[in-house]
Amino acid sequence: MSQAIQSKQYEKINAFLVFFIICGCQIGVGIHGFQRVIYKDAKQDAWLSVVLSFILAHIVVFVMFKTLEKFDNLDIYGIQREVFGKILGSFLNFVYVIYCTFAFFAVLKNYIEVVNTWVFPYVNPQFIAIAILLLIVYAVTAGFRVVIGISFFSFFFLLWIPPLLIYPLYFTNINYLLPIMEDIIGILKGAYSMSFTIVGFEILNIVYPYIKDKEKKSAEKYAHFGLLFTFFIYIIIMLITLMYFSGPQLERVIWATLTIFNLIEFPFVERIEIITICAWLLIILPNLCLYLWAAYRGVSSVYNLEIKRFTWIFISIIFIITFFIKTRTQINTMNNYFGKIAFIVVFIYPFILFIFASIKKRRKKGTGDTS
């Protein structure tokens, strides 16, 4: 049975918005402290791990589009049922919904921890969770185009990051970057550890059917531009961090980016990092909204469920789970597990799906089946 998405014209989005979707999904809570995790593996070559991880991301996006172009109006849920059959395809769809739910929770919980640690240490984390979840309900139930609009506007909250990092340059030491390429295996491990930080672009598998003028392939171009922009942000932060902290210092700092922001002072603002963390909610909002919407697309492909009803059920489940993950150790363990799962789902599975999709299309062409 065809799983093609017959989206209405008002739901369609212009291809250039893919750029903002990528930026909105890739820059989230991971940017607060990804440097320490990468440094443990790659040491002073951690910036090379960032470069390598984004090269792989560009390759994966290329493969994703090649797979999506074979099916035109199918998202990944429809493609999996088409390629693997109803039973196995439905199981893989269920796994993908669980992945989106896991990603949603990981972003939410990490942000709540940052808020509790830096801004409101005595506020109950469940209260913060309720406030954020209600905001997400308001956004997602307004419709798909509103979610994309949030991605568009959140991009402009990213533009202050590079100028703000000029001041810490006065306290850096470029010698901390030497020697270069001392441990190739460590660089590869560091690139693997970047999985948690740079995932998000896999949301292309869900939004592709809603893009206008797909035959012009401009969406792929904007997706790669989005990856380049996020690479620019991450590489600048990583280089400044490596040149600012010594090795032993960086291994002990959990949120290196926020610590660097703590250096910056203005006559009218004493702690700039507090404003940064509060404003960061608008930056992670596209992450949360798009992952929730992606989970909804998977469930709605099987059950005829309204978005409002699904959203309330979804956030209720998420809120209950927040009671079980509390300590820093538990959050670290969760992040490690999510990083491993994300690497498989985002960086390995697209190649497997592409191979099976190509075989499926070749067989259909050989039998003359054009359905």
What is the tally of structural domains in the chain?
Answer: 1
Residue 273 lies in a domain: yes
Q: How many CB atoms lie within 10 A of CB 255?
A: 22
pTM for this structure? Answer: 0.93
Query: 3-state DSSP call for residue 173?
Result: coil
What pLDDT band is residue 28 in, cutting at 50, 70 and 90? confident
Residue 293 lies in a domain: yes
> Tens digit of pLDDT for each residue in 244-297?
998 889 999 989 998 888 887 777 677 777 888 888 898 899 999 999 999 999
* Residue 334 structural domain: 9-152+174-227+264-352
Residue 139 lies in a domain: yes
> Tens digit of pLDDT for each residue in 17-26?
999 999 999 9
What pLDDT band is residue 128 in, cutting at 50, 70 and 90? very high
Measured CA to CA, the distance from residue 127 to residue 107 in angstroms comes to 16
Query: Do 319 and 130 touch, CB atoms closer than 8 A?
Result: yes
Residue 182 lies in a domain: yes
Residue 242 lies in a domain: no
| Contacts with 49 (C-beta within 8 Å, 6 or more apart), sequence order | 38, 41, 42, 187, 188, 189, 190, 191, 193, 194
Q: What would the two tokens of residue 288 be? A: 């949360």
Residue 285 lies in a domain: yes
Residue 259 lies in a domain: no
Residue 114 lies in a domain: yes
> Tens digit of pLDDT for each residue in 142-163?
989 999 999 999 999 888 888 8
> Tens digit of pLDDT for each residue in 254-265?
899 988 888 877
